[in-house]
Each structure stands twice: as structure tokens, then as C-alpha cells.
Amino acid sequence: MMSRVIKEDIEGIVGEFESNLKELSGKKVLITGGNGFIPSYIVDCLVRVNKDLKKPCKIVVVNKHTVNEKSRLSHLINDSNVSFITQDVGKPFKVPRGLDVILHAASRANPASFLEDPVDTIDANVNGTRTLLEYCKKNPVDNFLLFSSGEVYGNPPKEFVPTSENFYGNVNCANARACYSESKRFAETLCAIFNEKHGVPAKILRIFHTYGPGLRDDGKVITDFFKMGKNKRIIQIKDRGEARIAFCYVSDLSREIFKTMFEGNSGEVYNLGNNSEIVSIKELAEIISEVLGNKSIVKINSDAKEAYVRVRCPDISKIRALGFSPRFSLREGLTRMKEHYDENGI
């Protein structure tokens, strides 16, 4: 079952894009990595709009791990309009027939995960993208969205923060962490080539730091801080907490995805995120402590080296020009995340 908070988020998103989403009536949509944090919101929105369609859209969720009763999308296992395929997209696979829209979101999404198996990280980003683009070359689709990342920019100099789509990156490709950023960059290149040479309507979404209900407890800073604050009443930061990041609430990010999907131009790149607030990791910990209401003590590691990420903030002028504006402040989003945790006994 979805929590009240997620249901409210889904209703808000669908309410804004209802007329656009109804255009998917009778269409077939493929979402790779669909059980993941961000794409699961997209799946839930499509399922919600199906209730209002005489001819519902068919949703194909491709996921590396089998979706079961403990999964984020467990509530959809018996939905007749949703089919689940267990498949590692980094390996050769057969793409389902008759697709109209593809959202390629399958990827390891945090440093601990992609450093655990760098080659697997590269395969999902490169081989998976190539397989899907080859399908689109032979079987024209209405829309192809690549979920890329703000990581492709690396560490921009101060004069390029906030970072626009025109900044070409500052990445050390010899660093092991580059398995993610460089393979995302190459996936973007594949999209550009297939768009120019074969007319595939590819759009590249550079997604920045996103949080909210359903964010997995897999080493991400926000989930770590919530867990430490609730259980130990001490939020221990691994370094000095000086890195500054702009965070985006997941329903705002979902709105940006749909805005790009329905109104963006094929062959173009879009930064997706929220640049209204940019906070240090230490400030983030302090806000989470306040949201928890238990006066957790925030501690830094003053002896640690500088964090890999210094400043990460998108310039979202391009998506704003399509009519998007964020709805949730950081404190509001973190409060909603806490409410989700409380409802689910987390």
C-alpha cells in the first residue's frame, strides 16, 4: 500500500498533467528500473490516470530484481495494465514489441552502489541505452527519455554554479567514481547520435539530488541522517559537512519529467532539480534534526578530507521556461518524508 503522503503527491502530479497523460490512452509505455525511487513515482502516476481512461495505457516495468510483496511497487503486482519483467538491462535482452514511449531509468544511483561494481554500472548505462535506441531506430516511438545525471558535470568551477546545460563538465575520467559519470556522458552521446542520424525522439534529463518518500536506505545522506537522528539522536557527518547541494523533492522532480516529456524538444538536454535553496551538508543535518523534533546532536569530522562534491546546483532556467516552478521547500519536503516514515513505522 502507498502511504498517504505518496498518494497526495501522485494526485497533485496527475492533477497538473491530466490532459497530457490522457494522451497516453491505448499507448504502451516501457520504464526500465521502474521499481526505483524516482521512476516508481512515474509508474504510479500512469496507473492513477488509467482510472480515468476508457482505454488504459499498458505499462511495462523492467527491473533488475524481481518485484515482490516487499517492493516499492508491490501494490501493482496484480494490476492488469502493468506487467513486470525481471531483466538486467546491461546484458543483452529482447525489448517488448509495440512500444510508444520509453523512459530509461535503470542505473545504479549512488556512489556506494556503483563503486561496488563499476563495470555493471557502465553496462547498464551504455549497453542498456544502446539496446533501447537500436529498438527505436527500427520501431519508431513517440518519446524516448534518458534519465541522466547532474554527475556528468563533475565539479564545476564557481563561475559555473548554478550549472547550466551549456557547461561541458569537469570530470576526472581516471577516477574510479567516473564509472558512473562517464558512462552517463556516453549514454547521452548515444542519444544525440541516434537523434541526429536516425530521428529517434530522444530527450536527455540531467537529474540532480532528489529526495522524498520511498528513498532507499542505501547510503544516501538524507536517509542516513534520518536514521541516525531517530535512532541514536546523534547525526555524525563523515567529513566537515562543507559540500553545498541543492535538493529537489521527488514530486517536483516528477513534474519536471512530465513537463519535459510532453513539452520538451527532442534532441535536447534538460537540467531537472530545484535551485531555490542550496545548503551545506551540515545545514541539511541541522534541518533534519529540527524536523525530527528531538534535538539530535550534529557532529562533523573536522579531520576528514574535503568531500568529492564541492558544490552541486543546477541552473533550471530551461525547464522553468516551459512553465515549471518548484512547489516544495526543503523543509516542507523533509517534513513530508518524516510523515511517510512515521506512517510506515520506519
**Rounded Cα gap, residues 266 and 263, in angstroms:** 10
Contacts of 296 (CB under 8 A, 6+ apart): 228, 229, 232, 233, 234, 235, 288, 289
3 state DSSP class of 248? strand
**How do residues 15-41 score in pLDDT, each as one tens digit?**
999 999 999 999 999 999 999 999 999
Residue where the block lists cell 539530535: 296
pLDDT over 70 (residue 324): yes
pLDDT given for residue 297 in this prediction: 93
Please report, rounded to a whole number, the percentage of residues in the chain having pLDDT higher than 70. 99
**Phi, psi (rounded to 5 degrees) for 308:** -60, -45
Residue where the block lists cell 491530466: 18
pLDDT over 80 (residue 305): no
3-state helix, strand, coil in the chain (%, to 5): 45, 15, 40
pLDDT over 80 (residue 103): yes
From the candidates 41, 135, 153, 180, give the one annotated as an active-site residue. 180
Q: Give which of 12, 253, 239 is closest to 109, Cα–Cα.
A: 253
Mean pLDDT of 315-332: 98
pTM comes to 0.96
Annotated active-site residue 180? The verdict is yes
pLDDT given for residue 19 in this prediction: 96
Q: How many helices (H) and strands (E) does the chain have?
A: 10, 14
Q: Which CATH number fits domain 4-211+250-275+314-328: 2.30.29.30, 3.30.565.10, 3.30.9.10, 3.40.50.720?
A: 3.40.50.720
| E strand segments, 208-303 | 210-211, 234-236, 244-245, 248-249, 269-272, 279-280, 297-299
**What 3 state SS string does 121-155 have?**
HHHHHHHHHHHHHHHHHHCCCCEEEEEEEHHHHEC
pLDDT over 90 (residue 164): yes
Q: Apex CA 141: angle with CA 137 and CA 144, to 5°? A: 90
pLDDT over 80 (residue 218): no
pLDDT over 70 (residue 307): no
**How do residues 260-282 score in pLDDT, each as one tens digit?**
999 999 999 999 999 999 999 99
**Rounded Cα gap, residues 158 and 281, in angstroms:** 18
> For residue 304, what pLDDT band results from cuts at 50, 70 and 90?
confident
> For residue 308, what pLDDT band results from cuts at 50, 70 and 90?
low
- Assigned C-alpha cell, 58: 499498458
pLDDT given for residue 1 in this prediction: 66
Which segment, 152-156, 169-173, 265-269, is predicted with the most confidence on average?
265-269
Q: What's the mean per-residue pLDDT of the chain?
A: 95
Q: How many CA atoms lie within 13 A of 211 on its CB side?
A: 31
3 state DSSP class of 44? helix
pLDDT over 70 (residue 229): yes
DSSP letter at 322?
Answer: T
Q: Give which of 303, 175, 282, 287 is closest to 237, Cα–Cα.
A: 282
